[in-house]
Amino acid sequence: MKRILLTIMLFISCTSTFMAVAQTKGEFPNKPIHVIVYTAPGGLIDLTARKMVQIAAKYTNATMVVENKAGAGGMIAWEYVLSQPADGYTLFPVTRSNIGNLISTESTVDPFDLDWLSLMILDPEALIVSAKSKYNTVADIVADAKAKAGNQIWIAPPGIDEYVTYKFWEKTGISGKFVPYDSGTQAMAAVIGGLGQVYVGNPADISGKSDLKIIAISAQQRLAQFPDVPTLKESGIQGMDEESMWRGFTLKKGTPPEIEKWYDTLFEKITNDPEWRAYFEKDGMEVVHYRADKFNQLVNNDMVEMARYLKPKK
């Protein structure tokens, strides 16, 4: 009798384990997915995450919940994501500024504790000034910087925009004063108010703002949405054709391959969705789907390149 009971209990235990594994592997997702945004509501990465959730609803019945965990240059959200299980239920939207902040703060966090799953948006960097500015070309900015002998003021949030500032200075042989602001909105207000001469941002930043103008963009060719704005290359600046504020999505390293494949299939559908494309392309952004291999290599390259400009000097 005892042997029969033991056999029954063993059968129940094995069956329960099999069902749990099958549910995890075959029925993902079976609970809400938490999309952790590292900024406050309203920023571009927040809007990107919320648009992704909206478009994803066309292709999956999965429940996705956006949660904002702002602070410490994105590290609060980053560390929260790393504290969660690698089960696919915590999705982390990221931008290139996350890499810049890791370098400039000398963080001990390993970026490859994340699986860089899908890069989906390329948002070109741009030099932006007040509409009342005397600058109309890159040459105007460079000439004035030399006349000011290091006192020209550039304004932007720290991270990628700061990196682009220093790289531009190196390429043109000028120097200036970089003043970091907590947000692009604050930085733009400062430039409009005359507290600085140049804001480094993205073309979408001037949408609906007649008091700002774009001097040049970092792109291979002019944007159809801004046909009168030259590229940096057209303006005589070499080696700055592909500086962008990319945005994408990551999972904690160790997430099962079949779950990552589920996301890859979903992101491919989102990338091809006309509403998704129109939402970003209207502001000059490029909609792409760089899969994990290409995305991881890009992050690795950025870690090396950006360290030249952002790593604190000893």
Give the pLDDT confidence of 22-46 residue by residue, as tens digits: 444 558 999 999 999 999 998 889 9
Give me the phi and psi of 205, to 5 degrees please: -60, -25
Give the pLDDT confidence of 197-252 residue by residue, as tens digits: 999 999 999 988 999 999 999 999 999 999 999 999 999 999 999 999 999 999 99
Q: What is the pTM of this model?
A: 0.86
- For residue 227, cis peptide bond before it (omega within 30 degrees of 0): no
Architecture of domain 126-217: 3-Layer(aba) Sandwich (3.40)
b or e along 19-35 (b: 16 or more beta carbons within 10 Å of the residue's beta carbon)?
eeeeeeeeebbeeebbb
Same fold, 31-123+245-310 and 126-217: yes
Domains of the chain, residue spans: 31-123+245-310, 126-217
Q: Which of the following CATH numbers is that of domain 31-123+245-310: 3.40.190.150, 3.40.50.720, 3.30.420.40, 3.40.47.10?
A: 3.40.190.150
